[in-house]
């Protein structure tokens, strides 16, 4: 068998005394559910080949066997912490196919849920980033503080993760009574709390010396590689879909997108934190502007179907960047084809590029700063 069709890692490597091939993962906690094949020369990485797929579940195939409503619970499995944002483009796409207009209040509830989820995801990501760098405080604090927001989501949807709260036509349930008050109080406290992270983490000279000027992605390369989300914005490209292609009510809210020019691991790790502060700001605006009462869901007929052959591509800004959903409908109750284009998968292309020439010890910080979620990339 020629090397051409052998899977990565099994192909015969040319023997060389200096170059050593290492498999990082898939069981290693420092790689998530994926394997990174690195070739090192002494302490320096000369080549890197990411090998995802250990948590591939065939979400796209499963979606072809279920109708537009029963697709909801399984489609949010790729990122259970960010489940509202994963469902968002799908729900927008189905609404477009069916021609549904969503009530105003539902749009605000969606924005609030989606921003809460972004924070919940980012806090989890930040906790792992902390432990990757051996910073235990930064593991414990975010893991504890995200409970505040998980409690809020539990009040809204009844589930701590995997809320299945978005449905085509609105959201499943209205907000519980007195929610606005509780939400405002929790979010205010949360905001005050994450501002404290700066002192212990982001202004920490040890973190700065470990992450600054490592894995630098220039603006031109970020555009060429087509990366997205925090990775793109850390390289100086101002591109946030909440501003560039506003969906639902983001047009009416004042959204500020955070951009840094450095493009190193430090910038990439700071942008999500700045985004969380921005999310708090958006939630407060949405709570203020939201209609105080009204319907939150348009009831659909059972087994909704699209009209003939049609396709739609909707995208939203998730915790890991642009998340697109391409739905092809053939007029039946199930989608003919459903493709999720996820930020993690698109950011993965930057990993071999950034690790080349980097020290092996910097691998965890560069890898996790890509805001990469293995389960989402595999779908």
Partner 1 sequence: MMSTNTEQVTIEEKPAEEKPVAKPVAKPVAKPVAKPVAKPVELPAFEKNISDKIVEKFGDKIVVSFVKVNRVGINVDKENVHDVAKFIRDELNYDHVESVSGVDYPQDKEIEVVYHIGSYSDPSLASQLIVLATRAEREENPIPGKDATRLPTLRDIFYSVEFHEREVFEMFGVYFTGHPDNRRLLLPEDWADLPPLRKDFAIKGR
Q: Catalog residues that contact partner 1 under the rule CB under 8 A.
A: 4-5, 7-8, 10, 51-53, 56, 58, 60-62, 65, 96, 98-101, 222-226, 228, 232, 237, 239, 244-245, 300-301, 304-307, 311, 313, 315, 322, 324, 326, 328, 336-337, 339, 341, 345-346, 348-349, 378
User: 55 is written with which tokens?
Assistant: 């948590």
Shortest CB 332 distance to partner 1, Å: 12
Shortest CB 213 distance to partner 1, Å: 24
Shortest CB 291 distance to partner 1, Å: 21
For partner 1, the closer CB: 182 or 223? 223
Residues 6+ apart with CB under 8 A from 346: 226, 227, 228, 321, 322
Shortest CB 23 distance to partner 1, Å: 13
Shortest CB 59 distance to partner 1, Å: 11
For partner 1, the closer CB: 14 or 301? 301
Cα–Cα distance, 281 to 302 (Å, whole number): 38
Q: What are all long-range contacts of 101-104, with beta carbons under 8 Å and residues at least 24 apart?
A: 101/298, 102/169, 102/170, 102/248, 102/298, 103/170, 103/294, 103/295, 103/296, 103/297, 103/298, 104/249, 104/291, 104/294
User: 227 is written with which tokens?
Assistant: 């990366």
For partner 1, the closer CB: 145 or 376? 376
For partner 1, the closer CB: 93 or 272? 93
User: 215 is written with which tokens?
Assistant: 């894995």
For partner 1, the closer CB: 4 or 17? 4
Helix and strand numbers (H, E) in the chain are 16, 8
Shortest CB 353 distance to partner 1, Å: 10
For partner 1, the closer CB: 192 or 224? 224
Residues 6+ apart with CB under 8 A from 83: 76, 117, 161, 162, 163, 164
């Amino acid at each position: 068998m020629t090397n051409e069709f052998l899977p990565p890692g099994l192909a015969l490597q040319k023997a060389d005394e200096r170059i050593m091939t290492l498999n990082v993962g898939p069981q290693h906690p420092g790689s998530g559910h994926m394997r990174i094949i690195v070739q090192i020369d002494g302490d320096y990485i000369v080549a890197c080949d990411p090998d995802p797929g250990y948590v591939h579940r065939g979400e796209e195939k499963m979606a072809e066997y279920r109708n537009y409503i029963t697709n909801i619970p399984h489609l949010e499995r790729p990122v259970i912490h960010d489940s509202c944002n994963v469902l968002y483009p799908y729900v927008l796409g189905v609404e477009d196919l069916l021609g549904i207009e969503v009530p105003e209040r539902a749009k605000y509830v969606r924005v609030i849920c989606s921003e809460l989820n972004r924070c919940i995801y980012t806090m989890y990501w930040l906790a792992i980033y902390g432990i990757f760098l051996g910073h235990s405080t930064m593991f414990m604090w975010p893991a504890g503080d995200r409970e505040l927001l998980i409690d809020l989501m539990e009040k809204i949807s009844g589930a701590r993760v995997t809320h299945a709260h978005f449905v085509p036509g609105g959201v499943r349930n209205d907000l519980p009574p007195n929610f606005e008050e509780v939400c405002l109080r929790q979010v205010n406290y949360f905001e005050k709390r994450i501002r404290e992270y700066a002192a212990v983490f982001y202004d920490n000279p040890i973190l700065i010396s470990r992450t600054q000027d490592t894995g630098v992605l220039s603006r031109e390369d970020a555009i060429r590689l087509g990366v997205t989300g925090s990775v793109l914005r850390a390289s100086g490209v101002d591109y946030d879909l909440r501003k560039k292609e506003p969906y639902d009510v983001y047009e009416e809210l004042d959204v500020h997108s955070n951009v840094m020019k450095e493009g190193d691991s430090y910038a990439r790790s700071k942008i999500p934190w700045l985004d969380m502060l921005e999310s708090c700001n958006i939630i407060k605006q949405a709570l203020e502007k939201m209609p105080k009462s009204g319907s939150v869901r348009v009831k659909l007929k059972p087994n909704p179907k699209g009209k003939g052959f049609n396709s739609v591509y909707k995208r939203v800004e998730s915790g890991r960047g642009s998340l697109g959903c391409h739905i092809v409908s053939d007029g039946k109750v199930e989608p003919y084809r459903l493709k999720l284009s996820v930020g993690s998968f698109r950011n993965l292309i930057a990993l071999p590029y950034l690790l080349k020439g980097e020290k092996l010890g910097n691998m965890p910080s560069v890898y996790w700063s890509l805001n990469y979620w293995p389960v989402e990339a595999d779908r």
